[in-house]
Amino acid sequence: MNPILMAILLVTVIGLIGAVILVIASIVMFVPVDERVEKITEALPGANCGACGCAGCADYAKTIVEDGNAVNKCIPGGANTAQVIAGIMGVEAGASTPMKAVVSCSGTCDKTSKRYEFEGIQSCQAVKGLYGGDGMCQFGCLGYGDCTKACAFDAIHIENGIAKVDREKCTGCGACAAVCPNSVIAIVPEHKRKPVVLCENKDKGAQTRKACTAGCIGCMKCAKACPKDAITVENNLAHIDQEKCVGCQLCVKECPVGVIHVPANL
């Protein structure tokens, strides 16, 4: 027989044998999948952000069907996605509080400055490794955009030296907070009245003022003004307990450096 024909015949036979083996393996090893898992996966936004506590959207869908996980844990999807999933599962969606990212820094270019010029890789993580960062304030936003690269929704950008959140686009997935080396980004419940302290500087007041004119100086005026004892000052930095806060905003009016704001109004 012609060697070429023999080779073609041999390859064809091997291919057929392989195909038969694959078909048999697919039948023997077939694992039935609940169709609800596929429907829920399709209903999820596909961000795979991990905010729900699962490895990704498909994993979350699986835990809902197989383990009874709550249907309202998808922060990017919000209440609408929770309602769709609840319909698939035949349960009540429950309350779903919108979450948004907040950048706890007010150190724009006109309020602080650089200690040195960094010419390395344009990354917050990279500049953080060099003497703690190039800014006068070593607690603030580094401004090199690691958060913007991590955001799948184009909801955070560097403006005037610091990260700024587009609240309309933000889904509260937490990807930006996870990559921030200075931990100045937090994910908090969206509220029209409750304020937050937009600073992370823990130095004493005089030192903070030298680094940034918009930094918290730990003066205690906000804590004294709060009628619900929702504000404490530790390590020279004010902190607002969102559970106790009633949104009266007296602290906003009392802050002498204007570092307390309602994120929804920014």
Per domain, the residue ranges of the chain are 35-89, 99-265
Q: Has domain 35-89 been given CATH number 1.10.15.40?
A: yes
Q: CATH top-level class for 99-265?
A: alpha beta
**What is the residue type of 47?**
A
The string of pLDDT tens digits covering residues 76-103 is 888 899 999 999 999 998 877 889 999 9
How far, CA to CA in Å, does 105 sit from each of 108, 137, 138, 218, 260? 8, 10, 11, 15, 10
Over 121-187, what HEC string results? CCCHHHHHCCCCCCECCCCCCCCCCHHHHHCCCCCEEEECCEEEECCCCCCCCCHHHHHCCCCCEEE
d(CA 207, CA 217): 9
Residue 51: per-residue pLDDT: 84
Residue 34 pLDDT exceeds 70: yes
Which range in 20-24, 119-123, 145-149 is most confidently predicted, on average pLDDT? 145-149
Residue 75 pLDDT exceeds 90: no
Q: Could you tell me if 248 and 239 are in contact, meaning their C-beta atoms sit under 8 angstroms apart?
A: no
**Burial category of 11 from C-beta neighbours within 10 Å (exposed 0-12, middle 13-18, buried 19 and up):** exposed
Q: Cα-flanking dihedrals φ and ψ of residue 137, to 5°?
A: -100, 115
| Segment 124-143 mean pLDDT | 95
Residue 251: per-residue pLDDT: 98
Q: How confident is the model at residue 72 (pLDDT cuts 50, 70, 90)?
A: very high
Q: Cα-flanking dihedrals φ and ψ of residue 65, to 5°?
A: -75, -45
- What is residue 188's DSSP assignment? E
Q: What percent of the chain has pLDDT over 90?
A: 74
| Segment 13-20 mean pLDDT | 87
Rama region for 132: left / alpha / beta (φ>0; ψ in -120 to 50; rest): left
- What average pLDDT is seen over the chain? 92
The string of pLDDT tens digits covering residues 215-226 is 999 999 999 999
The string of pLDDT tens digits covering residues 152-208 is 899 999 999 999 999 999 989 899 999 999 999 999 999 999 999 999 999 999 999
- What is residue 14's DSSP assignment? H
Residue 1: per-residue pLDDT: 62
Residue 97 tokens, joined: 């509080």
